[in-house]
Structure 1
Amino acid sequence: MSSSPSDIGFGPRFAVPVLLGPALNPVNTTMIAVALVPISQATGTPASLAIWLVAGLYVVSAVAQPAMGRIADLFGPKKVYAAGLVLVMVGGLVPAVWESFAGALLARVIIGLGTSTAYPAAMALISDQARRLGRSTPRGILTGLSVSSLATTAVGPVAGGLLVHHFGWQWIFLVNTPAAAVILLLVLVWLPSDSSRESGARVSPDLPGMAVFTVMLVSALVFVLDLDAGLYWLIPVAVLALALFVAWELRTTAPFIDLRMLAHNGALTRTYLRLFLTYTGMYLMVYGFTQWLQDAAGYSADHAGLIQLSTTAMAVICSVLASAAPSVRLPLTAAAAALIPGGLLMLGADTSSSLAYLVVLVGVFGVTQGFASVCNQEVIYSAAPKGQTGSASGLSRTAIMVGAIVASSIIGPVFGQSATDAGMHVLAWTVLVLGCLSLALTVTDPALKVVRSRR
């Protein structure tokens, strides 16, 4: 098959390593969904505490992704990408030598930090390659980036279920080591050197801004994740850190997060909010519903993972449809609207529901995932200022991670020691509210009237 002129320079040697690395974060975030119950049982950890295996990776990723994106913009995405893959290799080995809940949590943190480099680095690599070649970015590689994440997000529960069932829960961590090693080799051999990228003004990373941002986000998220603990002192810490962060970022010449740019770039800020609303609803289903399948409905880990396959199929179909649409408004509207029937189906489910009903239920959420992933990514890529693609992309992942953390903080107290029908119905009402809010934001966003363009 011959390549179109716009695809030259974006062939397999460039595309394969760029597309593979970002898949590690979503596959890890969803593999753990079917392993929470087995890890809880093996280590004697209650379900309300086991959810920290989800939250640990997300807290690290929420802080690290914009930081890694900013560092990639400043010093080169290939270096950052490669360093992250080394961390993933190390993190995967931890539970093999420390078979405990603490070892699993440490592994999640290290893997979260390592995988946080891949997506912002990939977006920066794509942007750099387009400028290096003087060509527009092929839409196919952006769609491929979304499809890669979509496929692994939904394949994660299946792969995780099979690994846990046949080899033990440690293998959902250990599998990262050979996977990251292969990708690292491809990155080092096939991707262009950072020395060939268009260089801008060399400035030091905004370390004070990154530090205060970390304090702000971690204190707020830890409070939200464990409301029953009564850690109210974290609220003034988060508020003070937020005030310091805003004051510092507005006065520094090279901010970690350009707040002035965000204040004037409505397309970006609304996209971040839309991502937060949409993915909070998505992860309430991915984690909450999957726990319910095992705890209440009696499905095994591997069967619970297989049920999620309908999400994959629908998400891939919708991502292809989204890439062919003349603008992003209709697909994004469909992504938001699909949360409403998804919530209604969750509301109607109970332990007597048929397998067919459950498969249809998770498939509806694939509509949200497929349309939202491709189109929100394209809005960010088009709206990000020159030289800030990595940090803008990292912030988009932070919005998704915060949504996942909020979903986890809801699931923990709602389910308590074990998932129930009543608890799952509380999650369903939450999904319905999030769907309505996301739909209202999408249909009123003036930026989505613009026909999509390529750099």
Structure 2
Amino acid sequence: MTTTQAADVTVTPPRTAPQPVEPFPRRLVVPMVLGSVLNPLNTSLLAVALIPIGVAFGAPPSDTAWLVSALYLACAVGQPVTGRLVDTYGPRRLYLVGAVLVGLGGLLGAVAPHLGVLVAARVLIGLGTCAGYPASMALIKRESARTGRSSPASLLAALSFANQVIAVVGPTLGGFLVSGAGWRAVFTVNLPFAVACLVLGLVSLPREPRPVPGTPRERRRIDLAGIGLFSAALVSLMLFLMAPATGRLWLLGATVAAGVGFTLRELRAHDPFLDVRVLGQNRPLLVTYARQLLTGVVMYSVVYGLPLWLEHGRGLTPSQTGLVLLPMFATAMVGTVVTRRQRGVLGRLLLGSALQVAACVALLAVHSGTPVVVLLVIMAAFGLPQALNGLANQNALYDQATPEQIGAASGLFRTFMYLGALTSSAATAAAFRTAADTPGLHALALFAAACAALLLATVVAEIALRPRIGRPPAPSAVPGPHAR
């Protein structure tokens, strides 16, 4: 072969097999689940400790109720704000800051000399627990984009399972803690959880890459005015819900004024805290928020209202009350495990809301002499719909929120849950105005049944309308700009 011929020979490099994409890192699962459950744990853990705390400080129920309301206020405002910060600065930083705040709140509650300091501890815990869930949802969305795969249904189910189960088992755990170590244990239990989150977060969570100078992400700024107006609207609304009265209607006026100001601000902001244009056009996400609110009303009416009746109207101890609520944990666990790999939303919501209506109606037959075994069966009936509705709403949120706003959308998702919780608190206070007696329990059950029925109606309506929505237009029809 001549030199010229040799030069014409083309050497084909050997083919290399495509590198497989690494699946979702398993090391992230434990810190994600652990961080997200701190919020429902602290929400439900206190349910059976309010009476012992009131006795210890000589405080009436109207004062100890601030221990619940303070956390609700902190979480309802803090969740979407923290979620927005997650979108801006990444999950890791906010996760670690949240763990520190939870630890400080638990330590402050352990040494609180009076009720005011205890309320401050609950605010710290509430703000600290705001980071776990938005950070987890942001990590799942990010890994889904990296791998090019849809979110693992089992991972979303694990988050929903952990949150639902902790919310249900919290009063049971709280009963044992109060009986065995006193009411301060519901605060000190946060210390080992906070340390675990801090260590796991430092070791496992990926660092946020530095933004490239000149890119939109690098130029992003925090919309402090939008956050302030949003917080003012939400706080005034929640303060009214905590104690609705004619003399407090001015709070609703403040809510409207701050809400209008917030909307105008966000429409003009270059980088808004919440993009109200995108949110307003996302009707399915708005419906999911409404369903989350109704789910919260029913769940917290049971988690907080029923223990009051069990201890006062039925005469049970805190630990016995926790045991009566335990079947909710078992059926919630079964419901999540059985349906964890299914991504359907409407089917779960249809069954879950129907079961909620039935369980609420069953409470109308309960009285001070009802056998404990009957109460256990009713509690078991409440557990399954909590699992079904919780997982369905979470899957809907994940599918409907954009990757750029998954943190803020997840935080707002939790905010609607707390609006439901505060609504249930107002209903509980109205039902048990003089005492936690059986007529009051029946009134609370009727209210919860109405909310469950409304949730069921939204699902039935969407199922009925779906064939029409999906039907192709007639040949002569001209689709408009908003055609689906």
Residue of structure 1 aligned with 2:360, choices 333, 340, 343: 343
**Alignment partner of 1:333 is 2:322:** no
What's the CA shift for 1:326? 5.7
Alpha-carbon distance in 1 for matches of 2:211, 2:303: 39
**Alignment partner of 1:136 is 2:153:** no
What's the CA shift for 1:130? 2.3
Matches within 5 A, 1:212-361: 212-228=229-245, 230-325=247-342, 327-361=344-378
State TM-score, norm by structure 1: 0.93
Q: What residue number does 2:476 align with? A: none
Q: Deviations over 1:356-396 (max 9, x none)?
A: 11111121111221001111111111111121111111111
**Alignment partner of 1:201 is 2:217:** yes
Deviates more, 1:154-163 or 1:78-87: 154-163
**Alignment partner of 1:24 is 2:41:** no
Q: Deviations over 1:166-200 (max 9, x none)?
A: 11111101110121111110011011111289996
What's the CA shift for 1:67? 0.7
Alpha-carbon distance in 1 for matches of 2:385, 2:119: 30
Q: Contact 1:328/1:448 (CA < 8 Å) preserved in 2?
A: no
What's the CA shift for 1:116? 0.7
| Partner amino acid, structure 1, of 2:34 | L
Alpha-carbon distance in 1 for matches of 2:343, 2:29: 24
What's the CA shift for 1:52? 2.2
What's the CA shift for 1:417? 5.0
What secondary structure does 1:324 align onto?
Answer: coil
State TM-score, norm by structure 2: 0.88
Q: Contact 1:281/1:434 (CA < 8 Å) preserved in 2?
A: yes
Matches within 5 A, 1:17-416: 17-195=31-209, 201-202=217-218, 203-228=220-245, 230-325=247-342, 327-416=344-433
Q: What residue number does 1:453 align with? A: none
| Partner amino acid, structure 2, of 1:77 | P
| Partner amino acid, structure 2, of 1:65 | Q
The structure-2 alpha-carbon separation of the partners of 1:228 and 1:41, relative to structure 1 and needing over 3 Å to count, comes to farther
Alpha-carbon distance in 1 for matches of 2:280, 2:287: 11
What's the CA shift for 1:26? 0.5
Which structure 2 segments of 5+ residues have no match? 1-18, 470-484
What secondary structure does 1:352 align onto?
Answer: coil
Q: Contact 2:236/2:254 (CA < 8 Å) preserved in 1?
A: yes
Q: What residue number does 2:11 align with? A: none
Alpha-carbon distance in 2 for matches of 1:213, 1:120: 18
Runs in 1 of length 4+ with deviation above 4 angstroms? Answer: 5-8, 196-200, 446-450
The structure-2 alpha-carbon separation of the partners of 1:227 and 1:132, relative to structure 1 and needing over 3 Å to count, comes to same
Q: What residue number does 2:482 align with? A: none
Q: Deviations over 1:104-159 (max 9, x none)?
A: 21111110000011101111111122223444321111111111112211221111
Q: Deviations over 1:57-110 (max 9, x none)?
A: 111111110111111001111101110110000000112222322222111111
Alpha-carbon distance in 2 for matches of 1:358, 1:448: 38
Which structure 1 segments of 5+ residues have no match? 451-455
Deviates more, 1:126-135 or 1:262-271: 126-135
What secondary structure does 1:308 align onto?
Answer: helix
The structure-2 alpha-carbon separation of the partners of 1:258 and 1:322, relative to structure 1 and needing over 3 Å to count, comes to farther
What secondary structure does 1:99 align onto?
Answer: coil
Structure number with larger C-alpha Rg: 2
What's the CA shift for 1:321? 3.0
What's the CA shift for 1:37? 1.5
Alpha-carbon distance in 1 for matches of 2:438, 2:138: 44
Alpha-carbon distance in 2 for matches of 1:382, 1:236: 35
Alpha-carbon distance in 1 for matches of 2:406, 2:79: 12
Q: What residue number does 2:462 align with? A: 445
Q: Contact 1:158/1:306 (CA < 8 Å) preserved in 2?
A: yes
What secondary structure does 1:51 align onto?
Answer: helix
What's the CA shift for 1:298? 0.8
| Partner amino acid, structure 2, of 1:377 | Q
What secondary structure does 1:204 align onto?
Answer: coil
**Alignment partner of 1:435 is 2:443:** no
Alpha-carbon distance in 2 for matches of 1:49, 1:284: 19
What secondary structure does 1:72 align onto?
Answer: helix
Q: Contact 2:100/2:194 (CA < 8 Å) preserved in 1?
A: yes
| Partner amino acid, structure 1, of 2:357 | I
Alpha-carbon distance in 1 for matches of 2:20, 2:280: 33
Q: What residue number does 2:473 align with? A: none
What's the CA shift for 1:282? 1.2
What's the CA shift for 1:316? 1.4
Deviates more, 1:245-254 or 1:44-53: 44-53
| Partner amino acid, structure 1, of 2:204 | W
Deviates more, 1:145-154 or 1:317-326: 317-326
Alpha-carbon distance in 1 for matches of 2:432, 2:63: 11
Deviates more, 1:129-138 or 1:37-46: 129-138
The structure-2 alpha-carbon separation of the partners of 1:274 and 1:197, relative to structure 1 and needing over 3 Å to count, comes to farther
What's the CA shift for 1:239? 1.5
Alpha-carbon distance in 1 for matches of 2:94, 2:21: 25
| Partner amino acid, structure 1, of 2:433 | G
| Partner amino acid, structure 2, of 1:84 | G
| Partner amino acid, structure 2, of 1:187 | G
What secondary structure does 2:249 align onto?
Answer: coil
Alpha-carbon distance in 2 for matches of 1:189, 1:106: 30
Q: What residue number does 1:419 align with? A: 436
| Partner amino acid, structure 2, of 1:138 | P
| Partner amino acid, structure 1, of 2:242 | L
**Aligned Cα RMSD in Å?**
2.2
The structure-2 alpha-carbon separation of the partners of 1:190 and 1:325, relative to structure 1 and needing over 3 Å to count, comes to closer
Alpha-carbon distance in 2 for matches of 1:426, 1:318: 28
Deviates more, 1:321-330 or 1:339-348: 321-330
Q: Contact 2:153/2:343 (CA < 8 Å) preserved in 1?
A: no
